[in-house]
Structure 1
Amino acid sequence: MNRMIATICILLGLAVHGQSAEITVASVNGDAITLRELDAVLAQSPPSLTPLTNAQKRRQKLETVAVLVDEKLIRQFLIQQAIPVEPAEVSKQFAALEATLKEQGKTMPGYLREAGLTEERIRENFRMMLQLAKFIDTQITEEKLKAYHAENRDFFEQTTVRTSHVVIRAGEQATPEERQKAKTKLQELRAEILAKKLTFADAARQHSQCPSAPKGGDIGFVNRKWQVDEAYAKAAFALEIGQVSEVIESDFGYHLITVTERKPGKAVKYEEISREVRDCYETEIRQLLLAQLRKKAKVEITLP
């Protein structure tokens, strides 16, 4: 089971049977996510080293609800796709889980009690995990993998860049007017920086809405993928040292970005890392799928 599928298995495996009579914390296209489901996932989290504040507990719950929403979207998608999976394939995965538990000195009944699951639900989780793997397989060809490797050479060669940014926050609830105001402000700051009326560091110190502001916007070295927002990383790695980006939109708001240092990586051939390339490409497919499903979905958060 590769890394991506293992992750999906965890997500699918954490969910428990919804109870229609229970408190609903969210609904996804009309399907409820219950408080019991939320509590079951939270119970799997490692204990905090220090007591959480009420605000931190609330944030943790909201983040967990977001995970369950994604899991629900994947389930709904796979039900619609109706990708065939042989019972023997499910039994093979179930047997592998039993063997792993035995190596850990655990039993299947004990695991089911601890996870709040039934054998039927575990088998259903494996079936959907295998369906997702089959769907992803239909999206992958050797040509696509080689092209993905070429497009993301900086990542696979472990090149890093040191970036600074000026960010003005604009979350999901921001109005079009607020968004335009943020973009206009950054465009004005960019013009001042290019005209040498203001240094990038001073612009960050005076205007950036990020903890990095006192350091002139410096956030240190970043990789091409998985470390910062994709839009941010793509723009940063396209810059020359000292160049200032156009206004870049990310999930966090609007940015001006500059690169202050670049550390080249080591050249590596596709054939040497083909497994890693495929794992990363599978992750991208899943993220793209979720993004598309979220755009179409009707999601309501009703967490008490």
Structure 2
Amino acid sequence: MLRWNTGKTALPNLPGSRYHFHPDKDNATMPSTRRLIMLARTANWQILAISAVLLAVTQAPAQTTPPPKTPATPASSSGSAQIIPVSLSNDHVAATVNGEKILVGEVKKILDQRPYPVALTEEQKKQLRQSAVDVLVEDVLMRQYLTKHVPQVGQAEFSKEVETLQAELKKQMKTLPEFLKEGGQTQEQLSKDIVARLQWKAMLVRFYPDDKAKGYYESNKMFFDKVFVRASHILIKLPANPSKDQRDKAVQQMLVWRQEILTGKATFEAIAKQHSACPSKDATDKDKKPTPGDIGQFPYKFVVVPEFAKTAFSMKKNELSDVVQTVFGLHLILVTDRTAGEPSTFDAVKETVREVWAQDDDLYQRVLGEQRKNGSIKVELP
């Protein structure tokens, strides 16, 4: 039986990473997962957010320098076995956050959520330990904030959320024990996750009340209606602070290309292939057929820069844009497809609206920043 209580938990991470609607899901998708260097930890509260219509889009940063030449240990299928020194027991204190202890056993649970089939250097193991500890530190900081600033969750609200979870698991043909095993959690920990999730949702209502959230919804309705546009572009890169002469010359060149395309003297694809400064000039479709300039399908927010999205979503299929300027430079945009989407109403998606606005507003990171600034954090795990 899931018990109604509070305590240490995993909490939602809503950083500046980008989101998009999953085209193959029908409303029941989940918010973001926290991504670490070579480590992904999925918090179990996430399945509770069945009203959300977002999935995280994340990319591991490219490695630009070779790893240090530190002797590697033999590969192991167990995460923590080769990362945590064997001399440290589960009860050893890994970190202390405002007097609250994080134990090595908790760090091990995070590291054990995925295997590491390749040998790791000492530096890589250190990075993984630090990343895992940082996840737990953030969890504690946010939980402490919620405990201080958000009212406690009532029994009725908690029970309703448990019923929602059980119904969602039934759809997936999973049992609660199976769900807990997959996430490496106990029932007590899951109960704490449910409480944290409900407190987070309550905080969003306070930060983004209905009247303001509705304005955000109306301004971004195509996003919540799940409208997608597919587009190609031609890019001329400009420096961060281009001179008037640099910009004028680039604009003039774009206008020449635009006129050539509109009059049939050249094709968009030919100019994109020969002149675009974007890697998409070498794009191909699923059959390896060249599609120069194609950047694929995207929603109204979080995937392409706002100026690009605003222009693309204002256009019809097969329409060519005027010259558009973004932080990347100048663009000519060709819309090659767009979906009708699924008309929504604010009342039906307002919880999702708040989640998205919080992401757009960097709320989670702003709160964490204040908590870190004003808190006392001591990491003891080497």
TM-score between the two structures when normalised by the length of structure 2: 0.49
Structure with bigger helix share is 1
Bigger mean CA offset, 152-161 vs 61-70: 61-70
Counterpart amino acid of residue 78 in structure 1: L
Contact 1:163 1:222 in 2 (8 A): no
- Find the counterpart in structure 1 of residue 191 from structure 2: 123
CA contact (8 A) 2:236 2:330 kept: yes
Structure 2 counterpart of 1:233, from 285, 305, 314: 305
1:81 aligns with 2:123: no
1:228-261 deviation digits (Å, cap 9, x = unpaired): 2xxx431212337141314x2xxxxxx2252422
Kindly provide the amino acid, as one letter, of the partner of residue 220 in structure 1.
G
Code of the aligned partner of 1:80: K
The answer for the alignment partner of 2:364 in structure 1 is: 290
Distance 2:193 2:119 in 1: 34
Work out the CA distance in 2 between the residues paired with 1:257 and 1:35: 51
Cα separation, partners in 2 of 1:279 and 1:114, compared to 1, 3 Å: closer
Which residue of the partner structure matches residue 150 of structure 1?
A: 218
Seen in structure 2, the aligned counterparts of structure 1 residues 188 and 52 have a Cα distance that, compared at 3 Å, is: farther
| Aligned counterparts of 1:77 and 1:146: Cα–Cα separation in 2 | 26
What is the deviation of 1:193? 1.5
8 Å Cα contact 2:45/2:190 also seen in 1 = yes
1:181-238, Cα deviation, whole Å (9 max, x unpaired): x613698864442142998957754xx6xx5476687533422124x2xxx4312123
Is 1:279 matched up with 2:352? yes
Q: List gaps (5 residues or longer) in structure 1.
A: 169-181, 249-254
| TM-score, length-scaled by structure 1 | 0.59
1:21 aligns with 2:103: no
Letter paired with 2:143: R
- What CA RMSD, in Å, does the superposition of the two structures yield over aligned residues? 5.1
Which SS does the other structure have where 1:238 is aligned?
helix
Deviation at 1:131, TM superposition (A): 1.3
Matches within 5 A, 1:69-108: 71-94=139-162, 106=175, 108=177
Runs of at least 5 residues in structure 2 that lack an aligned partner in the other structure: 1-27, 35-41, 47-89, 258-270, 284-291, 313-320
Check conservation: 1:12, 1:129, Cα contact below 8 A: no
Partners of 1:220 and 1:264 lie apart in 2 by 11
Alpha-carbon separation, structure 2, partners of 1:301 and 1:204: 50
Flag the 1:59–1:195 CA change in 2: closer, same or farther, 3 A. Answer: farther
Cα distance in 1 for residues equivalent to 2:219 and 2:126: 36
Asked whether the 8 Å contact 1:158–1:265 carries over to 2, the reply is yes
Provide the C-alpha distance between the structure 2 equivalents of 1:124 and 1:222, rounded to a whole number of angstroms. Answer: 36
1:40 corresponds in structure 2 to 109
